[in-house]
């Protein structure tokens, strides 16, 4: 089989994530990139591939420009785009296109053979996906038009509390008893947070309350799609330790985490390119 190199791009609202894949023959020459997913994770489902390199860059004000710079490296035969900017990438670089839902299914199934559900909490949306035993999408749900309960929501709340995003997750872990947060609307919740601060509530408790509120909403979404069996928690928010703990406690099944949760979509896009022409 001739060697093929695929660039998978997940063009999201907050970051552009890229994974370069090649067929397994290159394994020996691949160098350090192959180790990115670790020996435990690198087993393949039905495509024999190796990860050559990967990166996460800020979308900035021009996500297509960020994507164009990655494409300009030129180290690929095919580009497959997913995420919010996928259509524009198809127009700009002739990328093949799949949805984030399918990309996450492919990426998750590749990393963990027995995974049956995926929770992706990204910058602008949250998705709950269930998979069949053979790894195909069985059902899915996404949040509606607003950013309630997504990464963006956490960013806004961190700012309101005078913390950065990592600091927000750490504060929540220390929070103990949670402050009650009732609104999931980004604008209303921010007012609620400011109100709590004025009443002298500790930042850690507010942070805890915010995480618990999002976790409840997210677990309900998983329940609605009938998620059962091993769950992969992916997307940028999966890096948040407080959210990982809450999802783990509330799910009632095994929760696995990718080493690089932000790259699952880009990996899935690249895998799609391995499976289909040109």
Q: Which range in 19-27, 141-149, 227-235, 251-259 contacts another protein by CB under 8 A? A: 141-149
Which two tokens mark 115?
A: 């995974």
**Residue 256 in contact with another protein, rule: CB under 8 A:** no
The residue (of 25 and 138) whose beta carbon lies closer to another protein is 138
**Residue 125 in contact with another protein, rule: CB under 8 A:** yes
The residue (of 101 and 119) whose beta carbon lies closer to another protein is 101
**Residue 140 in contact with another protein, rule: CB under 8 A:** yes
Figure out which of the listed residues 70, 81, 101, 154 binds another protein, where binding follows CB under 8 A.
101
Q: Which range in 16-24, 59-67, 98-106, 245-253 contacts another protein by CB under 8 A? A: 98-106
**Residue 192 in contact with another protein, rule: CB under 8 A:** no
**Residue 102 in contact with another protein, rule: CB under 8 A:** yes
Q: Which range in 4-12, 45-53, 60-68, 136-144 contacts another protein by CB under 8 A? A: 136-144
**Residue 270 in contact with another protein, rule: CB under 8 A:** no
| Contacts of 4 by beta carbon, 8 Å cutoff, 6+ apart | 22, 23, 77, 78, 273, 274
Give CA–CA dist 40/51, Å, rounded. Answer: 14
| Contacts of 249 by beta carbon, 8 Å cutoff, 6+ apart | none
Q: Which range in 18-26, 37-45, 62-70, 95-103 contacts another protein by CB under 8 A? A: 95-103
**Residue 100 in contact with another protein, rule: CB under 8 A:** yes
**Residue 57 in contact with another protein, rule: CB under 8 A:** no
**Residue 145 in contact with another protein, rule: CB under 8 A:** yes
Figure out which of the listed residues 144, 199, 200, 277 binds another protein, where binding follows CB under 8 A.
144
- Binding pattern for the stretch 72-91 against another protein, x by CB under 8 A and - elsewhere: ------------x-------
The residue (of 50 and 274) whose beta carbon lies closer to another protein is 274
Residues that bind another protein (CB under 8 A): 84, 98-102, 125, 136-140, 142, 144-145
């Amino acid at each position: 089989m001739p060697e093929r190199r695929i660039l998978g791009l997940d063009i999201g609202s907050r970051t552009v994530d890229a994974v370069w894949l090649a067929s397994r023959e290159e394994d020996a020459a691949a160098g350090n990139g192959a180790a990115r997913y670790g020996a435990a994770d690198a087993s393949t489902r039905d495509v024999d591939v190796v990860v050559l390199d990967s990166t996460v860059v800020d979308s900035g004000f021009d996500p297509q420009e960020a994507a164009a710079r990655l494409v300009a490296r030129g180290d690929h035969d095919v580009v497959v785009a997913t995420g919010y900017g996928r259509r524009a990438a198809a127009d700009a670089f002739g990328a093949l296109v799949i949805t984030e839902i399918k990309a996450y299914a492919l990426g998750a199934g590749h990393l963990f053979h027995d995974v049956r559900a995926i929770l992706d909490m990204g910058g602008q949306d949250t998705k709950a996906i269930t998979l069949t035993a053979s790894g195909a999408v069985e059902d899915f749900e996404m949040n509606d038009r607003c950013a309630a309960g997504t990464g963006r929501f956490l960013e806004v709340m961190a700012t309101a509390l005078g913390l950065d995003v990592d600091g927000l997750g750490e504060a929540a872990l220390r929070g103990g008893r949670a402050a009650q947060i009732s609104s999931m609307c980004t604008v209303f919740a921010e007012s609620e947070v400011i109100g709590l601060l004025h009443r002298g509530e500790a930042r850690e408790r507010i942070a805890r309350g915010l995480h618990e509120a999002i976790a409840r909403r997210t677990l309900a979404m998983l329940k609605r799609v009938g998620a059962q069996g091993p769950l992969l928690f992916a997307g940028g928010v999966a890096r948040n330790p407080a959210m990982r703990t809450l999802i783990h406690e509330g799910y009632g099944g095994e929760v696995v985490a990718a080493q690089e949760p932000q790259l699952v979509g880009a990996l899935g896009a690249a895998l799609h390119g391995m499976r289909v022409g040109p």
